[in-house]
Amino acid sequence: MRPPGDRSRSTKRRGAALIKVRYTGINRLCKSLTVTLPSHNLPNDEPQDAEAGSFVSSSPRRIRPFLQLSRYDRPVGFWLLALPCLAGLSLARMSEGFAPGDAGVAGLYVLGAVAMRGAGCTYNDILDRKIDAAVARTARRPLPAGAVSLRSAIVWLAAQCLAGLGVLLLLPEGARLIALMALPLVALYPLMKRITWWPQAWLGLTFNWGVLTAAAGARGQIEAPDLLLYAGLALWTLGYDTLYALQDREDDALIGVRSTARRFGSRVRLAVSVIYLLSAGLCALAGGLAGGWAGAALALPFAGHLMLQAANLRPDDPSQALRLFRSNRDAGVLLVAGWVFIAAFL
């Protein structure tokens, strides 16, 4: 027979063990009921550079990550892809005026820009998903955040490419082949940041291909003013995408991603000023060759906008760099509006 003290200690140990078992069981049950919400369901799931008030933030949760993949929450990119097409069409029509079907063709260029910019961004995110996970600004994008699977992203990419193909088949015959020739530029762009300090220059060649497409569709051939405009707008993209890259300079340096923002270093403001000046000069020259003094003069508001951007740039202020980048939509609209006026009324 155990002494009373031993029985008491044994009872206490059994009681403590029972409490421990019950606590452990409850703890396991709580853990089993804990649900980790995917990042796209959280209130702060939007990427850092998403535009406030975008319809994407109030869209259904199932489709929101796909809209974010295509950058519908950052529509400035659609403008920057469509505006070169409209500038090229306007330049080609300066001397003779718009043709009856040009409004419909312009609409197709806009639809194509929406489809292919979305496809390009999705393709870029598929290839860059590991890099994006290491950069603060891009870590919340759907693929690195786990809101979209790789397979789903590939299916979404294919759907957008099919939409782009549908638009391509409706374009004027002269524009179709030229448009297809841009595909190698698009395919190689995500690799440029790994092999060159000038990925923004490659983007300039890619994003402004619509100038050549529109010229070929309007005239059936590409002429000297079209090439000058293409070069000028490619420099424009080099400048504004350098502004965009200023947001990521520190993270890019840590993970070895190259950009003109890093390449120019402390001279980035001077470099952007020179690039913008060359861009404005080439665009004015293209306008002058195609439309005389009016074509050159109505490129001046575009030039003034670029110079104001460069003058106000604060390279160490990422939020200001983003605002200046977005303002290039207005710069492009100024150029296109002036040339549309010439083609329509002069």
- In tens digits, the chain (346 residues) has pLDDT values of 444 444 444 444 444 443 443 444 434 433 333 333 333 333 345 666 677 667 898 899 999 999 999 999 999 999 999 999 999 999 999 999 999 999 999 999 999 999 999 999 999 999 999 999 999 889 999 999 999 999 999 999 999 999 999 999 999 999 999 999 999 999 999 999 999 999 999 999 999 999 999 999 999 999 999 999 999 999 999 999 999 999 999 999 999 999 999 999 999 999 999 999 999 999 999 999 999 999 999 999 999 999 999 999 999 999 999 999 999 999 999 999 999 999 999 9
Q: Global pTM?
A: 0.85
pLDDT score of 1: 46
Residues 6+ apart with CB under 8 A from 112: 85, 164, 167, 168, 171, 179
111 sits in which H/E element? helix 102-127
Q: Which of 156, 169, 184 is nearest to 72 (CA)?
A: 156
End-to-end CA distance of the chain: 117
DSSP string covering 274-304: HHHHHHHHHHHHHHHHHHHHHHHHTTHHHHH
Residue 34 carries which DSSP code? -
CB-based contacts of 17, cutoff 8 Å, min separation 6: none
Q: Which residue's structure tokens are 């292919």?
A: 116
* CA pair distance 334, 328, nearest whole angstrom: 10
- Report all structural domains of the chain as residue ranges with CATH numbers, in order of start: 57-330 (1.10.357.140)
Question: Is the alpha carbon torsion for 55, 52, 259, 299 positive or negative?
Answer: positive
For residue 168, give the amino acid letter.
L
Asked if residues 258 and 193 have their Cβ atoms less than 8 Å apart, the reply is yes
Asked if 160 contacts 122 with a C-beta cutoff of 8 angstroms, the reply is yes
Please say whether the beta carbons of 75 and 93 come within 8 A. no
DSSP code at position 51: P
Residues comprising the chain, all counted: 346
User: Rounded to the nearest 5°, which phi and psi values hold at 183?
Assistant: -60, -40
